[in-house]
Structure 1
Amino acid sequence: MNGIDGRVPLSAREITTGQANHVWSVDGPTPYILKHYSDPSRAANEAAALRLLATHRAPAPQLLATSPYDTPPWIAQTALRANPVPADNYLEDLTEPLAAVHRIPGTHFGRLAGARQHRSWSDYLHDRLHAYATAAPTLRATAQLLHQEVEADEDSIQPVLLHHDLRPGHLLREPAGSRLLVDWELAIFGDKRSDLGRLAVRLELDDPTPVLALADRSDPTTESRVHLYWHIHLLADAALSRDPVVRNRAAKRLTACATGQSRDRDAFTT
């Protein structure tokens, strides 16, 4: 788009919200959002996700311009006249836009761009679990148990688009009532139930039961898979989060889960 080159105009207003990235709102004949990234692969991934979403007319901003390998990497996307959906309406308002996203088929498993692509969903999960255990050796035992759970499940998953960072603030409501999902840098192709497991972590739930309202309950494996993904995303936070509060909270929930499962096994065998 003419006039957008990744540089921050003097009139831009920074709207960064505690992320590693920097974000500005830029006024003008065509207002837009400018985003600078610390990681070029995330810039490339978000640009690829926005292009795909536009192809399917899905509920998301439009990509205006990008150069993911500039210094710093950046994208520009349409500014939205919208406000975050209130927390007490979040799950209800998320239902329709998330279903639209999950109808978009994928071509592989993993990030859309800027990262390794995987031939199967289980390969992707094993790769992520290995990364978490490498980053946090004290959590290797937990990662190994999750490896075993992934291995035990039949992997017949067909990839679809996942937002993979669902949380309050990333779902907006326009004045006309339309709901839009923003911040697509972590988007992947995978099992749509993984979005629900990650959402349960971002909502700081003690178990993922409430997010099952968004799931297809006709599949008898849905509940167990959402629980598995919830544990994997907790492990991700415990191993990789830069925020010590998030990291410690995830580790405590993982410990509580392991303790509860141990009690259940003991009760069953006595």
Structure 2
Amino acid sequence: MTGIDGRVPPNAREITTGQTNRVWSVDGQPPYILKHYGDPSRAANETAALRLLARHRAPSPQLLAASQDSIPPWTAQTAVHAKPVPADRLLAELAESLAAVHRIPGPHIGRLAGARRHDSWTDYLHDRLRMYATAAPAMRTTARLLHQEVEARESTIQPVLLHHDLQPGHLLRQPAGSRLLIDWELAAFGDEQSDLARLAVRLDLHDPTPVLALASRSDPTTEGRLHLHWHIHLLADAALSTDPVVRERAAMRLLRRR
């Protein structure tokens, strides 16, 4: 879009909240959110996700411009004049938006762009578990047990779009009442139970079962898959989180599992 080139305008207001990217609100015509990425693969993935979501008219910001070849890579997205849905209302207000996302079919397993595609969801999970075990050698026994459970539960899934970073702050309620999901850089195609399990971790639930109310489909394996993915996401936090409190909490929950 004309006038948006990835540079930070003088009137930009920084609204960065995380550690991976820097984000600004820009009062342009139109106003927009400018995002600079520390990881080019995340920029490529969010760009691909926003384009896919627009084609399906799903509840997300509109991509105005992007460049993965710039240093740093960046996207410009429509500014959303909305407030985050409070954590205690998240499950109640997320259902409709998440159902729209989970209706979008995927052509492969894994991230949309910027990462390896997998032949099966089982291969994807094994790959993630190997990465976590490498990052945290003390968690290798837990990773090995989860490898075995993944193998025992092997099943064919029809991949759907996953937000894969559901948490308080990522669902916004607009003044008219509609909702939008933001921050799509970790989006992937896969099993919707993985999306729900990650949400359970981010809500710090002692048991992930309450998020099953958000499932768009159910079968006899649904609850077991949810618990498996919950433990895998806990292992991800225990191995990779930069917050020592998050790492410790996840590790303690995994120890109780054993």
- TM-score category by the smaller chain? over 0.9
1:85-106 Cα shifts (integer Å, max 9, x gaps): 1122110110000000000000
| Alpha-carbon distance in 2 for matches of 1:218, 1:171 | 24
Deviation at 1:20, TM superposition (A): 1.6
Question: What is the correspondence of 1:7-156 to structure 2 with a 5 Å cutoff?
Answer: 7-156=7-156
Cα distance between partner residues in 2 of 1:65 and 1:223 = 40
- Distance, in Å, in 1 between the alignment partners of 2:115 and 2:192 is 19
Partner of 2:252: 252
Find the counterpart in structure 2 of residue 202 from structure 1. 202
Is the CA contact 1:216–1:222 (under 8 Å) kept in the aligned structure 2? no
TM-aligned CA distance change 1:231 to 1:36, over 3 Å: same
Contact 1:162/1:187 (<8 A) preserved: yes
The aligned residue for residue 186 of structure 1 is 186
Separation (CA, whole Å) in 2 of partners of 1:61 and 1:151 = 37
Kindly report the root-mean-square deviation, in angstroms, between the aligned alpha carbons of the 2 structures. 0.9
1:104-129 alpha-carbon deviations (Å, 9 max, x no partner)? 00010000000000010000000000
Given that 1:120 and 1:155 are in contact with CA atoms closer than 8 Å, whether structure 2 keeps it comes out as no
Listed one character per residue, the Cα deviations across residues 148-198 of structure 1 (whole Å, up to 9, x for unaligned) are 111011321111000000001000011111111000000000001100110
Aligned-residue identity in percent: 77
| Greater CA drift, 6-15 or 215-224 | 215-224
Once the two structures are superposed, what CA deviation does each residue of 1:19-54 show, in whole Å capped at 9, x if it has no partner?
Answer: 321000000220000000100000000000000000
1:264 corresponding residue in structure 2: none
Equivalent residue letter for 2:206? D
Unaligned runs of 5+ in 1: 259-270
Q: 2:165 & 2:84 partners in 1: Cα distance?
A: 15
1:261 aligns to what? none
Contact 1:234/1:250 (CA < 8 Å) preserved in 2? yes
TM-score (norm 1): 0.94
Return 5+ residue gaps in structure 2 as ranges. none
Is contact 1:6-1:34 (8 Å) kept? yes
Counterpart Cα distance in 2 of 1:214 and 1:30? 34
**1:167 is aligned to 2:131:** no
Comparing 249-258 and 43-52, the one that deviates more: 249-258
Partner secondary structure for residue 65 of structure 1: strand
- 3-state DSSP of counterpart to 1:212: helix
Find the aligned partners of 2:42 and 2:11 in 1 and give their Cα distance: 26
> Contact between 1:132 and 1:239, CA under 8 Å: does it hold in 2?
yes
Deviates more, 1:213-222 or 1:237-246: 213-222
What is the total number of aligned residue pairs between the two structures?
258
Partner deviation per Cα, 1:118-148 (whole Å, 9 max, x = no partner) = 0100000000000000111111110010001
Which has the higher mean CA deviation after the structures are superposed, 168-177 or 14-23?
A: 14-23
TM-score (norm 2): 0.98
Instruction: Tell which structure's C-alpha radius of gyration is larger.
Output: 1
* Secondary structure, counterpart of 2:29 in structure 1: coil
Q: How far is 1:244 from its partner?
A: 1.1
What is the identity, as a one-letter code, of the residue corresponding to 2:200?
A
Amino acid at match of 2:103: R
